[in-house]
Amino acid sequence: MIDVEEVLVHLHDVAVGYDSPLIEDINIEVIAGDVIAVLGPSGIGKTTLLRTIAGLVRPLEGEVELAVPSRGGLGYIPQRLGLVGNASVRTNIEMGVRVGLSRWYPPFIPVPAKQRTYADRAMEDLGILHLAEHPVRILSGGQQRRVATAKTVAQRPKLVLADEFLGELDDDNVDVVMRTVREAIKAQNSAMIMVEHHEELARQVANRIWRIEDHRLVEELVR
Amino acid sequence: MNKRTALVGLGLLGLTFIVFIDLVGNWGRLSGGWTNLGIFFEESLWPPDWSVLEAQSYPVCDARFEFTCSVAWLGMVETIKIAFVATMIGFIVALPLSVLAASNLSPIEFAIPARILLAAMRSLPSIIWAVLFMIIFDMGTLAGICAMSFYTVGYLGKLQFESMEGIKNAPLEAAKAMGMTRTETAWLVAIPESANNLLSHLLFMFEYNVRHGTVIGLVGAGGIGLYINTYLKLAQYDKVVALLLVVFLVVVVIDFVSMALRSAVNEESDVDRPTWSSLFLPAAISSAMHPTPMKKEPSGESE
């Protein structure tokens, strides 16, 4: 039996940047099951690459092909986490499950019980179920990172883009978060691209590394 | 401040002075102004005539507290009712319009017409709206409610869409990347993120409408302004002063209540709970009387 790899992202001759290109000639694929760490010094274009794949920035050149559903297929954890501070932890996480429902499902009606269990399970896995009714703005930085992760896990996307989402977490919590994310990726046969500053950590959690050097993306295989 | 900024600042000050002098024209006609004001104050304004707080002779008052049959009470209660209904109608209509007008939530082809509509609604002062609605509905509270509601939509809508445009970009980007619809983004992200400002603006608008009740009442649109207008026509300025002091007192009370409400939604100390002294005394004295406690650490475990 031939094992056909599921390509989730394909970048053809892509150049990313705002006014001038930060990274050029990117030709790369992301396969289901990949955990990719993007490494490089600050300001080199790692976040811009992630934002380009997320469809938030247009590529200066080339084409980004995403083989994931436009609604709910992509989970994005920005550097500042993108949580709604005034809303409760539960409301934030249920935003993740909501995109799995029809786009015509009214936003002011609570999500159905089945989808609610996805949120509960994600909160339980990440140890934040006891904070479910707290507004996000009162949580510590590390707790907020676990909420952002739970939101993406509950969403069950095909591709997760995470920008330095392990920052502010201690070693134990990095383990908990990464274990939960890995299990979710395995269960959904999805992939993850994460920007990371700590090379050692990146090598522990990723199976591929994209290093940005001299405006080029260089691939390293970890395992 | 560099030399160029200083020169521009001085130039603007000079221009202001020249235009002011030109506008006033004949300074001589201002002589004796303060004396005239003093005479008017002593002879007509002070002391206020507090009979406005007594029950009216007709109709006969059978209420438990006679005060509730007074001109001040009846007028003020009607003004508060008009302001409340108009503020709520205005808020409900302004909210979707402000979502449409916010450039970070709606495409430009929706944002521009929505902004034009809001600008048109607030470009006419509520007194002009009151005149227009009096032509349609005759004198009375309905004209007052419609006039205030229209103005509220224009004014509140602008404050609201500016608040929504000021929210952080990260939650909006996360919502967009996830594939949330515009309605979902507005309802679940933009409105909660700007909720403190929206509530603050709503309470401000209510207070503004109560104050403005005196103005639109002048053209017969109901409320305490109707009584003020009557006393002005009869040159009973001491009664007008008494009613204006009642309005002032009510506005202060509303201000206190609105601060308390805002601090209630920010119970985790974004806004300090107000004290009576903070309303009436300078900040330095008030803070000396009620030193701010140390802020609490976030609840739950820390990382």
Query: From first to last of its 303 residues, what are the pLDDT tens digits of chain B?
Result: 688 999 999 999 999 999 998 888 777 777 777 888 888 888 877 888 888 777 776 666 777 777 777 888 888 888 899 899 999 999 999 999 999 999 999 999 999 999 999 999 888 888 888 888 888 887 778 888 888 898 899 999 999 999 999 999 999 999 999 999 999 999 999 999 998 888 888 988 998 888 887 777 777 777 788 888 888 888 888 888 988 899 889 888 888 887 787 776 554 444 444 455 554 455 555 555 555 444 333 443 333
Say if the Cβ atoms of A82 and B299 lie within 8 Å. Answer: no
Residue A160 pLDDT > 90: yes
User: Considering only alpha carbons, which residue of chain B is nearest residue A144?
Assistant: B303
pLDDT band at A88 (very low <50, low <70, confident <90, very high): very high
Task: Quote the pLDDT of residue B186.
Answer: 94
Terminal-residue alpha carbon distance, chain B: 44
Chain B CB contacts of A74 under 8 Å are 177-179
Name the residue facing A107 among B173, B179, B187 (closest C-beta).
B187
Distance of residue B180 Cα from the nearest chain A Cα, in angstroms: 6
Task: Quote the pLDDT of residue A91.
Answer: 94
How large is the average pLDDT for residues A159-166? 90
Task: Quote the pLDDT of residue B172.
Answer: 94
* B125 Cβ contact list (under 8 Å, min separation 6): B151
| A175 sits in which H/E element | helix A171-188
Say if the Cβ atoms of B300 and A72 lie within 8 Å. Answer: no
Query: 3-state class of A52 per DSSP?
Result: helix
Q: Are strands A61-66 and A7-17 parallel, antiparallel or unpaired?
A: antiparallel
Higher pLDDT, A154 or B256: A154
- pLDDT tens-digit map of B132-163: 888 888 777 888 888 889 889 999 999 999 99
Peptide bond into B59 cis (omega under 30): yes
From chain B residues 194-223, the ones with a CB under 8 A of any chain A CB are 195-196
Q: Does B181 touch chain A (CB under 8 A)?
A: yes
Residue B53: Cβ within 10 Å count = 16
Q: Does B301 touch chain A (CB under 8 A)?
A: yes
From chain B residues 149-178, the ones with a CB under 8 A of any chain A CB are 168, 170-178
Name the residue facing A86 among B176, B193, B299 (closest C-beta).
B193
Residue A213 pLDDT > 60: yes
Chain A CB contacts of B179 under 8 Å are 69-74, 99
Name the residue facing A70 among B172, B179, B302 (closest C-beta).
B179
Name the residue facing A55 among B168, B177, B270 (closest C-beta).
B177
Task: Quote the pLDDT of residue B108.
Answer: 92
Task: Quote the pLDDT of residue A19.
Answer: 86
Task: Quote the pLDDT of residue B182.
Answer: 93
| Full set of structural domains in chain A with CATH | 1-68+193-223 (3.40.50.300), 70-157 (3.40.50.300)
Distance of residue A119 Cα from the nearest chain B Cα, in angstroms: 16
Task: Quote the pLDDT of residue A90.
Answer: 95
Chain A CB contacts of B187 under 8 Å are 107-108
Task: Quote the pLDDT of residue B22.
Answer: 87
User: Considering only alpha carbons, which residue of chain B is nearest residue A50?
Assistant: B177
In chain A, the DSSP E strands lie at: 7-17, 21-31, 35-39, 61-66, 74-77, 159-163, 191-195, 208-213, 216-221
Q: Does B295 touch chain A (CB under 8 A)?
A: no
Say if the Cβ atoms of B173 and A51 lie within 8 Å. Answer: yes
User: Considering only alpha carbons, which residue of chain A is nearest residue B168?
Assistant: A82
Distance of residue B173 Cα from the nearest chain A Cα, in angstroms: 7
Task: Quote the pLDDT of residue B264.
Answer: 64
Chain B CB contacts of A155 under 8 Å are 178
Task: Quote the pLDDT of residue B135.
Answer: 86
* B162 Cβ contact list (under 8 Å, min separation 6): none
Round to whole Å and give the CA distance between B62 and A67: 77
Say if the Cβ atoms of A137 and B195 lie within 8 Å. Answer: no
| Full set of structural domains in chain B with CATH | 66-265 (1.10.3720.10)
Round to whole Å and give the CA distance between B15 and B173: 46
Q: Does B138 touch chain A (CB under 8 A)?
A: no
Chain B CB contacts of A147 under 8 Å are none
Is the Cβ–Cβ distance between A182 and A189 less than 8 Å? Answer: no
Supply the pTM of this predicted model. 0.77
Say if the Cβ atoms of B300 and A169 lie within 8 Å. Answer: no
Task: Quote the pLDDT of residue B270.
Answer: 45
What are the strands of the beta sheet with A7-17, ordered from one edge? A61-66, A7-17, A21-31, A216-221, A208-213, A35-39, A191-195, A159-163, A74-77
Tell me what ipTM this predicted complex has.
0.90
Task: Quote the pLDDT of residue B57.
Answer: 67
Chain B CB contacts of A193 under 8 Å are none
Residue A82 pLDDT > 80: yes
User: Considering only alpha carbons, which residue of chain B is nearest residue A156?
Assistant: B178
Name the residue facing B187 among A72, A81, A108 (closest C-beta).
A108
- Joined tokens for residue A32: 């289901």
Name the residue facing A56 among B176, B188, B301 (closest C-beta).
B176
Task: Quote the pLDDT of residue B10.
Answer: 95
- pLDDT tens-digit map of A39-78: 999 889 999 999 999 999 999 999 999 999 999 999 999 9
